[in-house]
Amino acid sequence: MADLSAFPITKKWPAKDPNVLQLYSAPTPNGVKVSIMLEEIGLPYEPHFVNIGENETWGPEFLSLNPNGKIPAIIDPNGPGDKPLGLFESGAILLYLAEKTGKLLPTDPAKRHETIQWVFFQMASLGPMFGQLGFFHKFAGKDIEDKRPRDRYVKESHRLIRVIESRLEGRDWIMGDEYTIADISMLGWVRNLIGFYGAGELVEYGELKRVPQWLERGLARPAVQRGLEIPKRP
């Protein structure tokens, strides 16, 4: 039986089975990256719902695992050297799980690094810009008279989604015929942009051809469908 007592987060979210990977998350665009990945690779895990609306990520238990106070985070009881490993940052977790299982990351060195660059693109650009656009459009727009912040994020999100559109020319997935962690990193964000955020018109999503087809292919995957609902909200 794995001993996770060194991780204070397990006091608030106890592990029913400490021998399997522990996921602390919520079904947000960042959170579902890891749940989708875990469903795709078939690695046993135990999800714990972290209520970000109640600021649970800012409690001492969660901060003990991620001092940045953001979901998702994991504890792998079977980390390197068979020792428990705690990790945060969704991109880092995707890369860790891909390398741990040898799945959804090309083994060819050049393609491997190319895949990682697209994950970094999502982390550095797509997620932050889409998230800010969503905030100013869906939540803050009605309260802030100055529309320049929203317009800035509209313009940049409009540009970024066309970077994906261009990348997908002649490709089913970001890396071509092979579905990878690059796709997993982006699917939830594009889905949220046109769905929950309701920003499709702002970025002229209807003008695109390849991105909507890519998103439809991704959302049709059974593992993606399951992962989008994990962890379950109470």
Average of per-residue pLDDT values in the chain: 96
Query: CATH 1.20.1050.10 residue ranges in the chain?
Result: 109-221
Mean pLDDT in residue range 98-110: 98
CATH for the stretch 9-104: 3.40.30.10
pLDDT computed for residue 95 by the predictor: 98
Bridge partner residues of 23 (DSSP): 47, 74
The CA distance from 197 to 88, in Å, is: 25
Is the pLDDT at 143 greater than 80? The verdict is no
pLDDT computed for residue 25 by the predictor: 98
Kindly report whether the peptide bond that precedes residue 231 is cis, defined as omega within 30 degrees of 0: yes
Q: What is the pLDDT of residues 123-133, one digit of tens each?
A: 999 999 999 99
Burial class (CB in 10 A: 0-12, 13-18, 19+), 20: middle
- 112 with 106: CB under 8 angstroms? yes
The percent of residues above 70 in pLDDT, for the chain, comes to: 100
CATH class label, 109-221: mainly alpha
Is the pLDDT at 203 greater than 70? The verdict is yes
Strands 45-49 and 73-76: unpaired
Is the pLDDT at 141 greater than 80? The verdict is no
Strands 73-76 and 85-88: antiparallel
Is the pLDDT at 190 greater than 80? The verdict is yes
pTM: 0.96
The percent of residues above 90 in pLDDT, for the chain, comes to: 93
DSSP string, 21-32: EEEEE-SSTTHH
- Candidates 8, 179, 37; CA nearest to 98 is 37
Q: Residue 85: left (phi > 0), alpha (psi -120 to 50), or beta?
A: beta
pLDDT computed for residue 144 by the predictor: 79
pLDDT band at 46 (very low <50, low <70, confident <90, very high): very high
Q: What is the pLDDT of residues 60-100, one digit of tens each?
A: 999 999 999 999 999 999 999 999 999 999 999 999 999 99
Is the pLDDT at 142 greater than 70? The verdict is no
Query: CATH 3.40.30.10 residue ranges in the chain?
Result: 9-104
The CA distance from 43 to 45, in Å, is: 6
- Candidates 41, 189, 174, 177; CA nearest to 118 is 174
Bridge partner residues of 22 (DSSP): 46, 75
